[in-house]
Amino acid sequence: MQDRRTYRVAVSKDYLVFASAHFITFAGHRCEPLHGHNYRVGVALEGGLDGESWYVVDFSVLKSILRRLCAEIDHKMLLPSRNPRLRIEHEGSSVRIALDGEPKYVFPAEDCVLLEIPNTTVEMLAEHLARRTLVELEACGVSRLTKIELEVEESFGQSATYRELLGDR
Ligand SMILES: [Zn+2]
């Protein structure tokens, strides 16, 4: 008979944070002014147990993946490469941003991270980090996951959670 037992493990550590700048485009022609947040990340995974170790995932593997993903975007300007209203162009060591065809910002390229999302909302950041986490976990040989929940908090008491059912991976 199929083993239907599942377990949920969660990681949320005080070092799983990133302090980054962003702005969001709104419907119509509105756009937020540039600002930053001290973001916090938490993840929960559900699945069956590893037959030999009796855990869903090795916590140290999960923590090091999340730590690396946070470090990639810490102290950076987060830019959404799939926003149809933004034109993002590299020019020498700069990144030039135009909004609705009008020049808006120029940033040092080394301070920018382009994310393949349409807007840098916490919802999209959570989905991006969840997908990256799954790719990294798979590369580490983690299987049997049935669900991921990844929360990004942008300020105290203000967060979004991305949730995806995975079937049997
Ligand atoms: Zn914001």
Give me the phi and psi of 42, to 5 degrees please: -135, 145
Spell out the per-residue pLDDT of the chain, length 169, in tens.
677 888 999 999 999 999 999 999 998 888 899 999 999 999 999 999 988 999 999 999 999 999 999 999 999 999 999 999 999 999 999 999 999 999 999 999 999 999 999 999 999 999 999 999 999 999 999 988 999 999 999 999 999 999 999 975 4
Q: How far is the CA of 152 from the centre of ligand 1 (A)?
A: 12
Q: How far is the CA of 1 from the centre of ligand 1 (A)?
A: 49
pLDDT at residue 68, rounded to an integer: 98
**Residues annotated as catalytic (active site), given as ranges:** 31, 75, 154
pTM, to two decimals: 0.94
Q: How many CA atoms lie within 13 A of 90 on its CB side?
A: 9
Token pair recorded at residue 63: 């923590």
Q: How far is the CA of 31 from the centre of ligand 1 (A)?
A: 11
Give the chain as a 3 state SS string: CCCCCCEEEEECCCCCEEEEEECCECCCCCECCCEEEEEEEEEEEEECCCCCCCCCCCHHHHHHHHHHHHHHHCCCEEEECCCCCEEEEEECCEEEEEECCEEEEEEEHHHEEEECCCCCCHHHHHHHHHHHHHHHHHHCCCCCEEEEEEEEEEECCEEEEEEEECCCC
Token pair recorded at residue 147: 């669900």
